[in-house]
Amino acid sequence: MRDAMETQRQPSLASTTTARLLQARALRAHMRQWARQTGMMAIDALFILISFAFAYQMRYDWDWPTPFNWVVREVQAQNYVSFFRFIPLAGLMVVLLLVLFTMKGLYRQPRSASLMDHASIIASGTTTAVAAMIVFVFLWSSTQFYSRLIFAFAWAASIVLLTAWRGIALGVQRWQWTRGVGREPVLVVGGSGLAWRVMEGLVAQPYLGYALLGYLDDGPTPGTQRPNGHFRHLGQVDGLRELLKRQQVSQVILALPFWEHSRLPELVQICREFGVEFRLAPDLYELSYDRVDFGNVGGIPLIGLKEVSLQGVNLLIKRAIDIGLILLASPVILLVSGLCALAIRRDSPGPVIFRQVRVGKGGKPFVCYKFRTMVPNAEELKAKLAAQNEADGPIFKIKNDPRLTRFGRFLRRTSLDELPQFWNILRGEMSIVGPRPPTPDEVSRYEPWHRRRLEVTPGLTGLWQVLGRSDTSFDEMVRLDIYYAENWSPGMDVRIILQTVPVVLSAKGAY
């Protein structure tokens, strides 16, 4: 009888111990997150106060040059106000900004968030806070000693200082992550092509701070790994609970193929039990689900795919951005184009401009212009080199293409060969940002879901350019194009253009 009772106690004791360990682990993770957010809020508060003090100095203590007198008038002695009179306003600004930043998710930004993502929240939050303070002060308070310029200077200084310190913090943090310091252990559940793309992305972007432990899949024998040695198979999908018990995991990425989606509720519940963050990677007949709309019929939820964002007024905005940027950059474009044309003439015989039929929006063909980078009979040699194609899908790419001329190789590496496409942009056949324009031969080999990228105007650069260029697989490039089409905004175009410059200068993934 005693043996039976001891046998019953042992599992109970083990389960209680496991539960306590899991609770302690979850508490530690929560405390780390709380400490991080509190620290960021404290530093933000300090810089906001510094910004307000700096704004006071600019208004009352600076000697402004004569040309600025129409904006910043000299303060008369009788109008000079002590900084202590502004301390309550500085405190109010701190409270307002911290509340707005919290509401806008500034302290919960994902690791993949760029400095532009942080800066946009900082700018919008600061603008809202300063506007609210102006309304409060000039409607419900005495205006005899509150200078309006104080608010303008505080607004500008806050945006600059908060963005600057976040840029430094992000740079240091990603520098540490790239060197393996402070990475979060991540587990991928699934072994399909989708899971493989997720794992390749994690390994290719160490600056995001994730350490890939391996993956669970009802496939190969546990302990084995794929030929490239990156991804370790840790067991079956049903073993998720046991793995989380014995191993520290910060995040689980559920990347199951669509025919296994019925298992998701159970896997999500397991992650919640262990207090582990989880994310879902969508995969359903190769459709993009980045933007969905919801409805219901008789209490049954229905999910539909939204159309591309580039319609109506958005098209006019995008066109205006294209024309405006080209006009601003036209002197540089013309100068560099002229130098490239002279160099091409001296480097090899043949025309300076290469003309090729490409497929534009809605499948409409157009003549695309580029600087010639290859020998004159390059198209004839293409058939002989077909077996050496290094790109997947319908695209033809060779890293060390023998058809390239000496100067043409430089043009390809720097993307200067695409400068004549600004003429295509002026004609409305292309845009500065958009999907890569395909050839008719490539389109003829598209799968049905690939054709969705033809619903928007092709571009000179795009997400595929800033996230890998020639190193990006064709399917991944199409997914990026679809994401862009469904989530377009003027801010996204600006971010892509700004990110293109360092990518081109570094020649990353270019050939």
Helix %, strand %, coil % for the chain, to 5?
60, 10, 30
pLDDT in tens, 433-460: 999 999 998 898 888 878 888 888 999 9
State which of 133, 157, 178 marks the end of a domain: 178
- pLDDT score for 297: 46
Same domain, 95 and 35: yes
Tell me if 172 is assigned to some domain.
yes
Q: How many domains, in total, are found in the chain?
A: 3
169 with 211, same domain: the answer is no
Interaxial angle between packed helices 115-140 and 87-103, expressed in degrees from 0 to 180 and rounded to the nearest 10: 140
Give the per-residue pLDDT at 70.
46
What is the rounded CA–CA span in Å between residue 347 and residue 49?
60
The predicted pLDDT at position 228 comes to: 43
Label residue 474 left, alpha or beta by phi (over 0 means left) and psi (-120 to 50 means alpha).
Answer: alpha
Same domain as 337, residue 251: no
Residues 317 and 406 in one domain: yes
Give pTM, 2 decimals: 0.52
The answer to whether residues 98 and 204 belong to one domain is: no
In a domain, 131, yes or no: yes
Separation CA 401–CA 412 (nearest Å): 11
Same domain (yes/no): 344, 409: yes
In a domain, 298, yes or no: no
Identify whether residues 52 and 120 lie together within a single domain. yes
Residue span of the structural domain in which 363 resides:
313-506
Q: Are residues 492 and 355 in the same domain?
A: yes
**Domain membership flag for residue 494:** yes
Residue 305 lies in a domain: no
d(CA 9, CA 413): 69
Evaluate whether residue 53 is within a structural domain: yes
In a domain, 299, yes or no: no
Low-confidence ranges of the chain (pLDDT < 50): 1-2, 4-11, 13-14, 68, 70-71, 75-78, 143, 221-225, 227-228, 284-290, 294-298, 300, 302, 511
Q: What pLDDT, on a 0 to 100 scale, did the predictor assign at position 1?
A: 47
Chain centre distance of CA 48: 27
Domain boundary among 139, 163, 178: 178
Is the same domain home to 163 and 240? Answer: no
Q: Does 202 fall in a domain? A: yes
Q: Are residues 232 and 350 in the same domain?
A: no
Phi and psi, residue 211, nearest 5°: -110, 110
In this prediction, residue 357 carries a pLDDT of 94
Q: Work out the angle at residue 209's Cα, subtended by the Cα atoms of residues 48 and 292, and round it to the nearest 5 degrees.
A: 85
> Which of 284, 303, 321 marks a domain boundary?
284
In this structure, the answer to whether residues 9 and 89 fall within a common structural domain is: yes
Residues 9 and 139 in one domain: yes
Q: Which phi-psi region, left, alpha or beta, contains residue 507 (left: φ > 0; alpha: ψ -120 to 50)?
A: left
Query: In this structure, what CATH number is given to the domain that contains residue 262?
Result: 3.40.50.20
Q: Which residue has the tokens 């582990």?
A: 276
